[in-house]
């Protein structure tokens, strides 16, 4: 039995307003029927430093769009288990793995770099389809045209892609904004980049229209952000979600080089370039994956708890993204169950990465885990110094919280 949940947590479901309940139903309906993420929005360059993967490591990672699992595979771990409750995310990773195994680099880059291949239907049915699971086959049979659509890019499809397409249309109506954004990605150094942003982008970008759109829960739902995460942001930032996003974008474009920031490039333009793209889309990375490194990836469609309870092999690395934010609100008992399963399967000195909409997510304090109902700080060592340093290097910068934890040696006793 676990410790009683704090009053504000245990009563949250009872205190939901009608609008909250409608937002929740809309989010659930969208998530249960859609591909939410067409690309990953977590920086694997930061993860690599935190994970320090070696040949004996086994990794559990939330699948999302599969980009980061492919990046981790390039580090040569023994096994990567990708886990996602949304089968459409698994289907996307399966398509990428099939492409790596069956396609030459130019065709693969056209699909997942440019987001467009005029001959995709023939390629799919002749080379890729037989590599997919039954669900992935059914899914892509109906949607493979996303890679040759009139919208111009695969990255303008799915829920997040729908929002990106909306912003692209907005930029087309405002060439005075579109031109300096293009110049921003071509800037040679931080000084010129900052000058372009301050003098030509900021004033045109942060209009009342954009602020209104970003503060709508529907926009956040399309981006995969449920209302509990929105509340976490609102509690920390006086200007709400729009203010937080503006602060994040200003940090990225004023303080980090954007020539290699493929996250914002693909979102704003709908495509990568061969110089500015994830490692799996670079020729050397693609060749290494095709030569055998991709074989360490094992996709699973289920919850984290279901996956962990189905096996016994110790896992040395956990990359859990931000799903615990909404679990702590919607399903706190399930979150406790998940943490118990994590601790049961974690190898000695296992490392865990979490992200959150809150700099210090409240569940870290109220959770009690294991048979002794211990606090997380009793079983985990939180490396706050390393997390803070790496947070400053994050090229996405849309998470307020980045948590790195190590399992204490006595935690499995």
Predicted TM-score (pTM) of this structure: 0.90
Cβ-count burial 77-115 (b if 16+ within 10 Å, e if not): bebbbbbbbbbbbbbbbbbbbbbbebbebebbbbbbbbb
Q: What would the pLDDT profile of 296-353 be if each residue is shown by its tens digit?
A: 999 999 999 999 999 999 999 999 999 998 888 778 899 999 999 999 999 999 999 9
pLDDT above 90 for 226: no
Mean pLDDT, residues 235-243:
75
Domain boundaries, the chain: 1-16+303-413, 154-269
Q: Report the pLDDT value the prediction gives residue 7, as an integer from 0 to 100.
A: 43
Q: Determine the Cα–Cα distance for residues 275 and 186; give it in Å rounded to an integer.
A: 12
Q: Report the pLDDT value the prediction gives residue 241, as an integer from 0 to 100.
A: 77
Q: What would the pLDDT profile of 90-141 be if each residue is shown by its tens digit?
A: 999 999 999 999 999 999 999 999 999 999 999 999 999 999 999 999 999 9
Please return the burial class of 352, using the count of CB atoms within 10 Å of its CB with bins 0-12, 13-18 and 19+.
buried
Q: Report the pLDDT value the prediction gives residue 26, as an integer from 0 to 100.
A: 66
Beta strands in 66-164 (DSSP E): 79-84
Mean pLDDT, residues 22-31:
66
Of 284 and 2, the one with more pLDDT: 284
């Amino acid at each position: 039995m676990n410790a009683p949940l704090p009053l504000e947590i245990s009563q949250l479901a009872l205190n939901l307003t009608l609008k909250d309940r409608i937002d929740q139903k809309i989010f659930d309906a969208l998530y249960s029927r859609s591909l939410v993420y067409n690309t990953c929005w977590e920086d694997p360059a930061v993860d690599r430093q935190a994970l320090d993967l070696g040949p004996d490591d086994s990794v559990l990672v939330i699948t999302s769009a599969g980009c980061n699992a492919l990046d981790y595979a390039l580090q040569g771990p023994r096994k990567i288990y990708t886990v996602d409750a949304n089968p459409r995310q698994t289907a996307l990773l399966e398509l990428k793995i099939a492409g790596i195994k069956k396609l030459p680099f130019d065709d693969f880059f056209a699909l997942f770099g440019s987001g467009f291949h005029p001959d995709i239907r023939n390629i799919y049915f002749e080379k890729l389809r037989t590599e997919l699971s039954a669900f992935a086959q059914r899914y892509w049979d109906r949607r493979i045209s996303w890679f040759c659509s009139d919208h111009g890019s695969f990255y303008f499809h799915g829920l997040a892609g729908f929002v990106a397409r909306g912003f692209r249309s907005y930029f087309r109506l405002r060439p005075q904004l579109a031109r300096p954004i293009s110049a921003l990605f071509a800037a040679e150094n931080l000084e010129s980049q900052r000058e372009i942003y301050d003098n030509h982008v900021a004033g045109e970008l942060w209009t009342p229209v954009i602020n209104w759109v970003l503060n709508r829960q529907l926009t956040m739902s399309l981006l995969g952000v449920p209302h509990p995460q929105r509340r976490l942001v609102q509690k920390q930032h006086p200007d709400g979600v729009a203010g937080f996003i503006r602060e994040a974008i200003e940090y990225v474009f004023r303080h980090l080089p954007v020539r290699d920031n493929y996250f914002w490039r693909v979102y704003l333009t709908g495509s990568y370039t061969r110089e500015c793209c994830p490692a799996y889309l670079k020729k050397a990375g693609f060749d290494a994956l095709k030569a055998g490194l991709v074989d360490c990836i094992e996709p699973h469609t289920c919850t984290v708890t279901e996956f962990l309870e189905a096996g016994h092999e110790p896992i040395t690395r956990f990359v859990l993204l931000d799903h615990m934010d909404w679990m702590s609100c919607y399903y706190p008992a399930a979150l406790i169950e998940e943490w118990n399963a994590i601790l049961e399967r974690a190898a000695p000195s296992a490392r865990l990465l979490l992200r959150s909409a809150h700099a210090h997510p409240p569940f870290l304090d109220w959770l009690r885990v294991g048979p002794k109902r211990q606090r997380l700080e009793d079983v985990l060592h939180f490396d706050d110094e390393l997390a803070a340093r790496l947070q400053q290097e994050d090229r996405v910068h849309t998470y307020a919280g980045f948590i790195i934890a190590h399992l204490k040696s006595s935690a499995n006793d």
